Amino acid sequence: MIIESPSRLHFGIVNLNNPTYPLYKCAGCAICEKKLVAEFKENDEIHLINFSRKEIEERLKLYAKKFKKKISFRIIEEIPSHIGLGSTTQLCLSFAYACHKINNMYFDPYKEAKELGIGKISGIGIAAFISGGFIIDSGKIEDVPKIEFRHDFPKEWVFVTARDQEMTKGLTEDIEYKLINRIKPTPKERIDEMYSLLFSMKDSIKEEDIEKFGSSLTKFQYLVGLNFKETQGGIFTSQKIEKLIEFLLKNGAKGAGQSSWGPTVYGLFSKDDLKIENLKDKLSNNIEIKMVFADNYGYRIKT
């Protein structure tokens, strides 16, 4: 059997360490590019094939020992790690689902996420796996943030992702968790403003108002940057990222930002207005730029 799961764009975190509000609270969107694609089947022993990340491989081997029937899990396509697309969550949950499927067991993604040590801060990757679409999570009310709001992303809206291939990758999960817990609490006024922008995004996606959604998203990303300014050295993690975001906004993007810690940035466009070749012609060859559709389904199983 084959399992496919989407990557995601992470729009950011609302509340860092302010105890008056639910901790964290995140927004994001599942996307079709890139995907995790893996083949799995019953096997005499745990067999993981084509894994590039040894630290995840060891975690999954330990996890799989609790199942009676063992599994062969072969990666066909992989989401690149630490570039802002949520590779770890999709890999872990896809493997966990496969173990349960082989053993004819009920699969609870939130329960397994907790056991696998994912979703400590953000529930966006888990929600992207479950259902895709545009997602806002609940924040840290329970062990793992759940879906608070989910809506299909309009088919006429597309993202353009851009990444300077010479830039270093973003942070690992362990480093991220330690850094976030050391950041000073987010001011109440900023949290209130970000809640208002989330409410605006909810309304505008229901109405398919791309101008309002994009404007709210850009403002939201700026406030996320203020949350992390001291840690990442600015509103974004580098001047190269800031210039890419400015480029997308100046060239027709309705909204733009940095996914997670970067280095992937994104711009929101109306599909009919987008001329991707015109954007490519204005950028250097080391910038990887793609038109990317949202994923409104989550994981898929194929035979």
Q: Quick one: pLDDT band at residue 46, thresholds 50, 70, 90?
A: very high
Please report, for the domain that includes residue 54, its CATH number: 3.30.230.10
Domain that holds residue 50: 2-153+298-302
7 and 106 in one domain? yes
pLDDT of residue 100: 98
176 and 107 in one domain? no
pLDDT at 232 over 90: no
Across 225-230, average pLDDT: 93
Tens-digit pLDDT profile for residues 62-101: 999 999 999 999 999 999 998 999 999 999 999 999 999 9
pLDDT at 171 over 80: no
pLDDT at 170 over 90: no
pLDDT of residue 141: 83
277 and 191 in one domain? yes
d(CA 193, CA 244): 25
d(CA 261, CA 271): 26
286 and 172 in one domain? yes
134 and 22 in one domain? yes
Q: Quick one: pLDDT band at residue 165, thresholds 50, 70, 90?
A: confident
pLDDT of residue 169: 66
**Percent of the chain clearing pLDDT 70 (strictly above):** 97
pLDDT of residue 231: 84
d(CA 6, CA 34): 7
pLDDT of residue 142: 76
62 and 15 in one domain? yes
Tens-digit pLDDT profile for residues 108-141: 999 999 999 999 999 999 999 999 999 999 999 8
281 and 205 in one domain? yes
User: What is the total count of domains within the chain?
Assistant: 2
171 and 146 in one domain? no
Across all residues in the chain, what is the average pLDDT? 94
Q: Quick one: pLDDT band at residue 30, thresholds 50, 70, 90?
A: very high
Tens-digit pLDDT profile for residues 233-283: 899 999 999 999 999 999 999 999 999 988 999 999 999 989 899 999 999
* Nearest partner of 17 among 157, 219, 181, judged by Cα: 181
69 and 10 in one domain? yes
pLDDT of residue 228: 93
165 and 129 in one domain? no
d(CA 208, CA 293): 15
136 and 162 in one domain? no
139 and 6 in one domain? yes
Q: Cα-Cα-Cα-Cα dihedral of 207, 212, 216, 217, to 10°? A: 80
The angle formed by the CA atoms of residues 158, 162 and 165, to the nearest 5 degrees, is 155
**Percent of the chain clearing pLDDT 90 (strictly above):** 85
